[in-house]
Each structure stands twice: as C-alpha cells, then as structure tokens.
Structure 1
Amino acid sequence: MGKLTVLKVKSAKPGTGKDGKPCKATFQDGDGLALVCAPTGAKNWVLRVQVGKRRRDIGLGAVDLDGLGRESFAGENRLADTSLMLRKTLTLPEAREKAAALRKLAKAGIDPATERDRERVKIPTFAEAVTEAHKALGRGWADRTAASFKASLEDHAVPKLGKLPVDAIGSAEVIGALAPIWNDKPVMARKVRSRIAQVLAFAKARGWRKDALPDARELRSGLSKQARGGNFAAMPFAEVPDFVAGELGKDLTASRAAMLFTLLTAARSGEVRQATWEQIDLKAGTWTRPAAIMKMNEGHVVTLSAAAVALLERFTPKDLRAGLIFVGLRGGALSDMSLTKALRTAGRSESVHGFRSAFRDWAAELMPTIPAMVAEMALAHRVGTATEQAYLRSDLRDMRRAMMDAWGRFAAPSLSGVADNVGELMASA
C-alpha cells in the first residue's frame, strides 16, 4: 500500500528554502513513485527506476486534481477511452498503475521512457520517412548525391512501400520492391537496396520502428542471383572512328552532340549534361568542371582536343553560347536516357558510360609510352596511394592534352582536320 493518500496529494505544498522562498518538495509514495510539488504549486508524478546500470527519473504526468477523491476504479473507466500511457494528468490510482507497468518494463530490460512515449509517436509511412531522411541526411551530401538518393527511391521503392508504415516493413516487403528491377537493372537495384536500408535505419534512430533492419541473408535468399560482373557494356575502341563518322553525317541534335562530346572527352554523362558554356574556354581548349557536378566532389579540368572544340563550335552558334550547352526539349538539362536513346538509335547496344572504357582500352593498347596514371587522370580518377597523392602536385595537364588530342584524331579525324586516324603520340609528347 502506498504512503500517499488523496488527502495528502491535495494538501501537498512546495517547500521553503533557506532564503524563505518556495522550493520544490517531493513526497514519496513507495516503489519509486513520488509526487513532486514545484515552487509554483504545480504537482507532477515522477517514477524513479533502475534501467540497466542507470537510475532514471521518468515523468508520468501532472496530478489530476479534478479526479482526486473519486473511487479508485474511476480511473479505469476513463482509461477505457484513453490509453494510460497517453494520459497527461493522472489520479493517484492511475499514477500507481502507470508506475507499476513501467517498473515491469524496466525489470524486463525495456526502456520505460520509450514505452511511455511509444503511443504518442506518429509512425510515418515509408514515403514520409524518405522525405525526412533526405532532408536530414542530405545536408551532408553533395547536391547530386542527395538528388539521386531521393529520385531512385521515389522511382523504385515508394511505388511498392510508400503507403506502408515504416515499422511494418520487413524482408518480404523489401524483396517485393526490389524484385522488378533486381535482374533488369542490377546496379540500380543494389543502390536502392542500400538506400532502403538507410531510410529504415534512420527511422529506427528516430524511434519510428523497434525491429532490426531486414536481414541481408534473407534478402539474398528471396532474390534471384544476379548475373556476374557489373561492368558497363563498352564499344570496342577499334569501332569508334566508324561510329563517330556515321553520327556526324546525321542531324546534330542536342542528345547526339552530347553523346559525341561524352565520347571525345571520356567524361561521365552526368558531367556532360550539366556542362555550361561558362565552364568552357575554347581558346585555351579547357573545360573546367566544378566540384558540384563531379562524382568525387572535386573540381577537374578537362583538356579539350581539336575535335571536341570543333564539335562544340559546330553545334552552337557563337552568339548562343551561354548557359547549358546541351539543352533538352523542355528547356532544362538532358536526361540520362536521352544519350542512351541516341546510342540505341545508332543501332548500338553498349552503354554511354562504356565510352570511358573504350578510351581506356585505346590508351592502354595504342599509347604504351604514356604512363597509365595520365589516362586515369583524364578519367578524373584518383591515382596512387595516399602518400603518392600527397607528393603529386601536378595534374599532368600537358601530357593529358597530348593524349586527348591523339584520342580526338583517332576517334574523329574529320573534326580534327586530319585525313587519317592517328594511333600513337609524337615522341616529343
């Protein structure tokens, strides 16, 4: 039986400090339950429990002064309509009941404060959690990474998972979302799987779900085995000159020009689609790419071959060279699929990204006198160990320019102003 009575609760008052001013007073009921009377006269129930090795004081709610004096079972009638854990004011019997329930949870190793608040937490849907995770986590990402995170989930996860509460998503639901793209788009599917896990981990950290994340072994068991190898299909470099010649004989649409510029610069398609005339110096033959459009989030200068410069000059009249270089039909940047479509229209099955592999193979086989790191730098890859990077202060621009000029002459001799393909660099390069 508790030490407090309804009368004691009603008559409880703040204490008096040494300075004569009101101060907090605590009245023990037993088993950790106490009535705390603030200096203002406000009365609240507090439970002291041992959670693991920590002693914690957990607020249960304010004293229900209107309910005091009623029979002990009165609280039970009112709790039929409102959960005990949700009540913000409690009579003495209700405070004891709530305290007893939370003590049992603490003894079972469950955080009583989390359980107290559980029913107050609104569990968002997966779609809502994606938005919140993107907003919170995206602050530390590059704009491109943040945009890709949200777009991939909205395209491939939200249609299946979007309306489900985030605490109701397990392995079966994740497998159902991934199955349609698991074999057709293996690279994207793996990214989406990782990003779904990020959202669920974020939800767990926010208290929106208690269960562990879907087990990786269960996911593997529920999905078919993907084809081995994740390399992008690449055009054999020996076929590049004929391909470019054929494309230059057609109308130079934005998507076709962007595809050819991607090939001539060995750039990533995303960098090309976001390229602006302000980044280009035709006279110096450079394309200065800001960190914001780069995969490694580091700025990079591309040396433009004569062929690349000629392509840009042919594509855009001098008085229109401002803003995006390759503009889509709706006025914004081209989509990634627009370059792929141009390649498919040309009757090729490879990927646009594969042009980088074609360039790298060409450099390895036909440019043996040029160090491998030159081609890697041209691809905007990091080269060497951390120590080597610390001592390598040059970006090898002169050697890269010689290599890119040779690539331009090989791939597009008509744009380079030469009659034949060139397969090797001058010894002076």
Structure 2
Amino acid sequence: MGKLTAAKVRNAKPGFGSSGKPVKRAYQDGDGLFLLVAPSGTKSWMLRVQVDGKRRDIGLGAVDVDGLGSTAFGRDDARLTDIPLMLRKSLSLAEAREKAAALRKLAKSGSDPKVERDRQRVKVPSFAEAVTEAHKALSSGWSDRTANAFKASLEEHANPKLGALKVNAIGSADVIAALAPIWTSKPVMARKVRSRIGQVLAFAKARGWRTDALPDVRELRTGLSKQARGGNFAAMPFAEVPTFFAGELEKGVSASRHAVLFAILTAARSGEVRQATWEQMDLEARKWTRPASVMKMKEGHVITLCDAAVALLDAYASKDMRKGLIFAGVRGGPLSDMSLTKAMRTAGRSETVHGFRSAFRDWAAERMPTIPAMVAEMALAHRVGTTTEQAYLRTDLRDMRRSLMEAWGRFAAPSLSGVAENITPIRSAAKR
C-alpha cells in the first residue's frame, strides 16, 4: 500500500530552503513513485528505477487534481476513455501507480522504460506522408525508374482513397476501396499498386507507426473482382520475326526503329537497349558488356553479338560518331520506353518489345533442341539452376551462347548475316 493518499497529494506543499524561499519537494509513495511539488506549487509524478545498474528518473505527468478521488485506473471519464495511459498528460494517484507499475515491470525485464513510455507518443503520419517517407528511405536502393514509378503510381491510384488516413488505421476494406477503380481496367498496374501499398504499410510498421498486421492478400482478393487471365507481355510468334525485321530494315534509319531491331537480335530488355552506349560495345570481339546498373538483376552481363547485330551497328553510325548513347533521343538523352512502343505501333503491330525475348525463347526451344535450355536462359540474363547449382557453375557458357545467338541472327535477319544474296542497304545515321 502506498504512503500517499488523495488528501495528502491535494494538500502537499513545496519545501523551504535555508533562505526561507520555496524549493522543490519530493513526497515518496513507494516502489519508486514520487510526488514532486515545484516552488510554484505545481505538482507532478516521477518514477525512479534502476536501468542497467544506473538510476533513472522518469517523468510520468502532472497531477490530475480533479481525479484524485479516483480509487482505480480507468475511471468513468468520457474525456479519457480513448487516451492510452502512457499518453495521458495528467494522472490521478491511482493512475500514477498503474503507470509506474507498468514501467517498473518493463525496467525489470530489461527494457528501457522511457523508450516504452514515449513509444505511443510517436506522431502517426497519414498514408500520403508515409509514401513520401518510404520513398525517401528506400529509393536509394532502387533505380531512378523504379523509384519514380513507386511514388507516381501511389500518388495517382492510392492517395485519393488512402492519402488522408493514418497508416495505423488502414485495413483491408480501405485497400480494396483504393484498388477497385483500376483492378479490372488496369490489372497490371493494380497489382503493382497493391504490392506498393503493402511496402508502405510494412515500412510504417517497422517505424513503429503501425502495430496491426498488414492487410491479408487473400482478403484483398476476396473483396475484389476476378481479373482476366493472362498478364504476360504480348509476343510476336517467332515465325513472323524475319518478315517483320526485313520490313522495318527497309524503312531506313531511325533511332527508335533500330533500337527495336537491335533488341530483337540481342534478346535484350528495352531499358538495356535504350541505355546502351558505344563504350559498352566491342565489335571486334563481338560482345556487349552491360554494367550492373542497367540490369534488372543488378548483375553485370555480357551478350555475345551475332554477325547481324554487328552489321546493324556498323551501318547505323560511322566510327567517328560512336560515342555515348547508341540510340539517343532527339534531345540527346536515352529514348523513352514509349518511343519503342510507338515504333511497334507505327509498324502496325500490337506486341511489346519485351515480347521479342519470348519469341527468342520459343524459337530456341523449338528450333535449337540440341542446345541446353540453360544456355538460352543465360542469353536472356536470367538466373539459372538452384542456389547450389549456381555456386558450382563457374562458366557463363559463352561459346554455346555465341552459337545460339549467331543462329538466331541468321534466322531473324538473314540479309544482315550474309545468308541471303540480296543484302538490304542501310543508310548511315550520319545522313539522317
């Protein structure tokens, strides 16, 4: 039983120094709880505990004079029903004892009671604010494109519904409401936004802004319409590639068109082609060394250039023009992804540039059955095998990849490979 009573707390006075002036006075209740009375008469609660062998004095809050008559924590007061104990700025004697007991228990268990006291005082941001903070903290490990897409997609598709909500109050129903407008009309984007919302909420939980579990993906699926099947990149049947290639080659030099043709011959991703530089190319050795910074897997990769790819580059630009970006835009920077898509649409095709990688893979499976599948996967810069197999595989199978890519070049662009007699001339880029 504590030494203090409600009456003693109410009537407690400050002390007096040798000069007769009032000074702070401490009244002990027991178990480390003290009532402090300042010279001005202001009263507050303090807890004294041992943490890691050192004395710690922790302020608990002011004395709630109106509540001193309360004999138990959780008195019926509409003003306080929604305020957690650790957040209350004024406490009755009973509440001070409750709070002191909780923090004392934490101290004995090895936790820092002051940290625990302040944990609930953290300002919980809105979802829109959390998006900004997550982007700032996480984007250093992403490419500029990924970082920009992360923030832009959430600002456009998530913030209208979630932006004003506190991150600790967002549940499955809120996420469903945000995703519903684009779930069936923009399924690919909707799945990306769903994943990115999860990233923001996970970030919020790691920062202590949220304690509840993240919305369950199964609950989200249940609350949303069924999306149409599919989702793969539209790919041109490999048998149609040679005709398409020859038709585009006859149209003359264009950065975006020739970027598409180069992507076909190398089975590379659009972004890798758009960021390709002459310095990465060794046409004599017939290889393209791509740095980790442009690769999806963030690992450097060497592509073996077939004769057709080398012929395409040789005719595209004269040697004195081979500096910097190969397929530069009008303003000198890299081409946009949309510029390559536009080249496909201008050619009357609905497929994606990325789909040519699928066409290459299908061709390799059907037309080159003697080449191990692992070789084609390596040509696509995919990881192959299990972790153990990767650890023991010390070669990149470059000779086999060179044979495979050379065969692909002869198939896709026979005129550039010296297979056909009627070699199609290409005007030099210098004459554009």
Give TM-score scaled by structure 2 length: 0.74
CA distance in 2, matches of 1:282, 1:215: 52
CA distance in 2, matches of 1:151, 1:249: 39
Residue 190 of structure 1 deviates from its aligned partner by 1.8
Report how many residues are paired.
382
For residue 219 of structure 1, what is the aligned residue in structure 2? 220
Evaluate the alpha carbon distance shift between residue 402 and residue 57 of structure 1 in structure 2; reply closer, same or farther with a 3 A threshold: same
CA distance in 2, matches of 1:162, 1:420: 63
Evaluate the alpha carbon distance shift between residue 58 and residue 413 of structure 1 in structure 2; reply closer, same or farther with a 3 A threshold: farther
- Do the aligned residues in 2 keep the contact of 1:234 with 1:357 (CA within 8 Å)? yes
Letter in 2 for 1:60: G
97-106 or 285-294, larger mean C-alpha shift: 97-106
Task: Please list the CA deviations of residues 10-62 of structure 1 after superposition, one character each: whole Å capped at 9, or x if unmatched.
Answer: 3399xxxxxxxxxxx9853247633589xxxxx9743479xxxxxx9893357
1:10 aligns with 2:14: yes
Residue 195 of structure 1 deviates from its aligned partner by 1.5
3-12 or 326-335, larger mean C-alpha shift: 3-12
CA distance in 2, matches of 1:244, 1:271: 20
For residue 329 of structure 2, what is the aligned residue in structure 1? 328
Residue 271 of structure 1 deviates from its aligned partner by 1.4
- Do the aligned residues in 2 keep the contact of 1:264 with 1:408 (CA within 8 Å)? yes
For residue 346 of structure 2, what is the aligned residue in structure 1? 345
Letter in 1 for 2:336: S
- Do the aligned residues in 2 keep the contact of 1:255 with 1:339 (CA within 8 Å)? yes
Letter in 1 for 2:14: K
The SS at the match of 2:46 is strand
For residue 284 of structure 2, what is the aligned residue in structure 1? 283
Evaluate the alpha carbon distance shift between residue 268 and residue 205 of structure 1 in structure 2; reply closer, same or farther with a 3 A threshold: same
Task: Please list the CA deviations of residues 240-264 of structure 1 after superposition, one character each: whole Å capped at 9, or x if unmatched.
Answer: 0011111112243222222221111
Letter in 1 for 2:15: S
CA distance in 1, matches of 2:421, 2:360: 18
Residue 420 of structure 1 deviates from its aligned partner by 7.2
Alignment of 1:54-69 (within 5 A): 59-60=58-59
Letter in 1 for 2:58: G
Evaluate the alpha carbon distance shift between residue 104 and residue 33 of structure 1 in structure 2; reply closer, same or farther with a 3 A threshold: closer
For residue 246 of structure 2, what is the aligned residue in structure 1? 245
CA distance in 2, matches of 1:344, 1:244: 14
Letter in 2 for 1:2: L
For residue 265 of structure 2, what is the aligned residue in structure 1? 264
- Do the aligned residues in 1 keep the contact of 2:47 with 2:60 (CA within 8 Å)? no
- Do the aligned residues in 1 keep the contact of 2:306 with 2:406 (CA within 8 Å)? yes
CA distance in 2, matches of 1:385, 1:121: 44
Residue 332 of structure 1 deviates from its aligned partner by 2.6
For residue 34 of structure 1, what is the aligned residue in structure 2? 34
Residue 419 of structure 1 deviates from its aligned partner by 0.5
For residue 408 of structure 1, what is the aligned residue in structure 2? 409
CA distance in 1, matches of 2:96, 2:164: 36
- Do the aligned residues in 1 keep the contact of 2:60 with 2:99 (CA within 8 Å)? no
Residue 327 of structure 1 deviates from its aligned partner by 2.2
Paired residue for 1:99, among 96, 100, 105?
Answer: 96
Evaluate the alpha carbon distance shift between residue 295 and residue 163 of structure 1 in structure 2; reply closer, same or farther with a 3 A threshold: same
1:372 aligns with 2:373: yes
Evaluate the alpha carbon distance shift between residue 98 and residue 133 of structure 1 in structure 2; reply closer, same or farther with a 3 A threshold: farther
Residue 184 of structure 1 deviates from its aligned partner by 3.7
Residue 397 of structure 1 deviates from its aligned partner by 1.1
Evaluate the alpha carbon distance shift between residue 361 and residue 119 of structure 1 in structure 2; reply closer, same or farther with a 3 A threshold: closer
Sequence identity of aligned pairs in percent?
71
For residue 165 of structure 1, what is the aligned residue in structure 2? 166
When the two chains are superposed, the root-mean-square deviation of aligned CA atoms in Å is: 4.0
Residue 357 of structure 1 deviates from its aligned partner by 0.9
- Do the aligned residues in 1 keep the contact of 2:305 with 2:402 (CA within 8 Å)? yes
The SS at the match of 2:168 is helix
Evaluate the alpha carbon distance shift between residue 408 and residue 205 of structure 1 in structure 2; reply closer, same or farther with a 3 A threshold: same
CA distance in 1, matches of 2:57, 2:354: 58
Letter in 1 for 2:302: V
Residue 160 of structure 1 deviates from its aligned partner by 4.3
Residue 378 of structure 1 deviates from its aligned partner by 0.5
The SS at the match of 1:198 is helix
CA distance in 2, matches of 1:74, 1:117: 23
Residue 218 of structure 1 deviates from its aligned partner by 2.8
Evaluate the alpha carbon distance shift between residue 345 and residue 370 of structure 1 in structure 2; reply closer, same or farther with a 3 A threshold: same
Evaluate the alpha carbon distance shift between residue 72 and residue 236 of structure 1 in structure 2; reply closer, same or farther with a 3 A threshold: closer
CA distance in 1, matches of 2:310, 2:217: 49
